[in-house]
Structures are given as C-alpha cells and as structure tokens.
Amino acid sequence: MVKVGIVGGTGYTGVELLRLLAQHPQAQVVAITSRSEAGLPVADMYPNLRGHYDGLAFSVPDTKTLAACDVVFFATPHGVAHSLAGELLAAGTKVIDLSADFRLQDADLWAKWYGQPHGAPELLKDAVYGLPEVNREQIRQARLIAVPGCYPTATQLGFLPLLEAGLADNSRLIADCKSGVSGAGRGASVGSLFCEAGESMKAYAVNGHRHLPEITQGLRRAAGGDVGLTFVPHLTPMIRGIHSTLYATVVDKSVDLQALFEKRYADEPFVDVMPAGSHPETRSVRGANVCRIAVHRPQGGDLVVVLSVIDNLVKGASGQAVQNLNILFGLDERMGLSHAGLMP
C-alpha cells in the first residue's frame, strides 16, 4: 500500500485527487494539509467524500509527517512546492507536483512568466515532465515529477504525431483552446462568477499565457528543433473541460494521418483516437482520465485540423498525477482510473 500525503487539499485539484484515490486499491491518503482549514474533517468540506475518508482531517503542513509518506502530491499555487520539495526529497519521499513549479527546465524563463525568482533551481535537474505518453520510462525512475498543465496536455498530445513524424511546418502551429471555469481554481474572482462567465465566451491572454512556454518546450522536444506556436486560450461557460482545436500545415499530403495517429497511440491506455470524421465532445471525457482525439484534413488540402479534448481536472491535472503515481510505483497504469466519462 502506497502511503500518500497531499499538500493543499482544499482546491479543485486537491478534491479531485481525493476522489480518484478513494477508488485506488493500492493507495492510502494518510495526511492532507491546509493552513486555513486545519482541524476540519475532509468530509465536512467535501460531503461527496463522506464514508471514504472518515477520520481524515486537514492539518498544518509538517515536514516530518509528510516525509513519512511514500509520495507527496502538491496541489498548490505556484511557488509553494519550491519551499518544501527539497526537504521531502532529501528524506527519500517522492514528490508529484501538480503546480507549475518544476515544469519549465529554464529557471530564468520560469521567473519571467511567473513573476518571481525560481525558489529551487537546484532541483530542476531532478524534475521529470510527467506526460506519460512521452516520458514513461523517465517517470519510472523519477524522484520529482512535474505534472503537465491542462492546456499543455491537450495541445501536446494533439500535435505530437505530426511533429514526431516530421510532417508539419513547425514554424506555423496554431492552438485555439477553450477551457471550463474550474481551470481558474476555487478561489473567488469576478471573472469566474456565474453571472460573468455564463452565456458568454471570451479569449484571454492572447499576447502570452503562462502555459505557452510549457507547450513550446514540449513541442520543441517532439520536433527536434524550434517551433513557432500561436496559442489563444478562451474561457467557456462550462465547469470542466478543455477543447483544443489545433492547426498545422503538412509538407506531405500523401501520408494517411488517421493511420499515423492510430499507430502513435495504439498502446496508450488514456488516449483515444476516434474514427475518421469524428468530432470529440468535452462531455465524453468529463470525470475520466482520457484524451480523445480526431484528425481532419479539410477539403483534402495541406491544412490539418486536430481536435483534442480532456477533462482539465482529470487528464489535465489530478488523473494524470495518479497515472504518474501508478507508473512510479510499478502498478498497473490504469489502476483507479478506468472509469468512463460522465454523460449526460
């Protein structure tokens, strides 16, 4: 049984971790922290977990308690894992970080996009980017795993087959992405209010979103060189979901793109390449750790359109974190994650 600690368990990714781990036969949550809610039983904050975590209460973060765990998840705002991860790693505890703290390998680039100095640059050499479809073998040996962001997960999985095969014009990639409101987190903000987000859709951060350097970093690895990416995120009036519409120009129109995508993801348990002509819906992956993809070439031209959908809280965050846990501890990668999406 893997003993699990969670730092920052009161947000949406924290409660999603708890929901998924409640179904996991080989994981036991023994510690969960929140300075603001210390002493409050978990089931009092989240009644959906009644009967699953009786006796478990939020506590103030304590390094000694957390270091007694086999693995600690950080479901925290950026900057928090910087201050605690080193001590836990030194104690032999594995760290799986859902924040952005260790996703970028360049500390100066991280500081530029997150508005503060990187708090643990010495740990970046140990950080493995936790996209299993790319780094599965490195994850198996990792001490510190940086779970990818939601937009980066959907976007990279959609582009990877084209870039790895050398088929795309890497200088002109476009990612037109839509996210549900839960992607903004549980903290109160005017833009996330129902009256503000409902019956509306808007683009934001067109001149630069924090996920842009993360996506670019992954696409460069896949392409083996520089890429030119335009990334435009949008807020949509739904709770969960990411829909990425991706555009690339192909240099060889003779390639069977459907076969290319099916072959690339044939052995991936959490990527579903849909039949030719399909249009995946975000509701089909709601609550599930699945990226559903369809590839199109309109009018048989050289422009490829890839449709990629995920649940931003599952494959885009907590589900992918549990997938990493399974790989890290030599468990069946699908353990605790095999449930279907919720419909309607």
Compute the distance between CA of residue 96 and CA of residue 91 in angstroms, rounded to an integer.
Answer: 15
Q: Average pLDDT for consecutive 10-residue bins of the chain (344 residues)?
A: 95 95 97 93 95 94 96 95 96 98 98 96 98 98 98 98 97 97 81 86 95 98 98 96 98 95 98 98 98 97 97 98 98 96 90
Compute the distance between CA of residue 153 and CA of residue 175 in angstroms, rounded to an integer.
Answer: 12
Residue 72, strand partner residues: 5, 95
What is the pLDDT, as a whole number, of residue 270? 98
Query: CA neighbours within 13 Å on the CB side: how many for 16?
Result: 28
Compute the distance between CA of residue 155 and CA of residue 138 in angstroms, rounded to an integer.
Answer: 21
What is the pLDDT, as a whole number, of residue 183? 86
Domains and CATH numbers, the chain: 2-129 (3.40.50.720), 151-312 (3.30.360.10)
CB 265, CB 293: distance < 8 Å: yes
Question: Which element (helix H / strand E) includes 129?
Answer: strand 127-129
Residues noted as catalytic: 150
CB 342, CB 157: distance < 8 Å: no
Compute the distance between CA of residue 201 and CA of residue 36 in angstroms, rounded to an integer.
Answer: 33
What is the pLDDT, as a whole number, of residue 260? 98
Phi (first) and psi of residue 2, to 5 degrees: -85, 120
What does the H/E/C string look like for 259-295?
Answer: HHHHHHCCCCCCEEECCCCCCCCHHHHCCCCCEEEEE
What is the pLDDT, as a whole number, of residue 193? 82
CB 155, CB 343: distance < 8 Å: no
For the record, the structure tokens of 86 come out as 């080193």
DSSP letter at 3? E
Report the chain's C-alpha Rg in angstroms: 20
What is the pLDDT, as a whole number, of residue 188? 67
Name the nearest CA neighbour of 126 among 179, 174, 89. 89
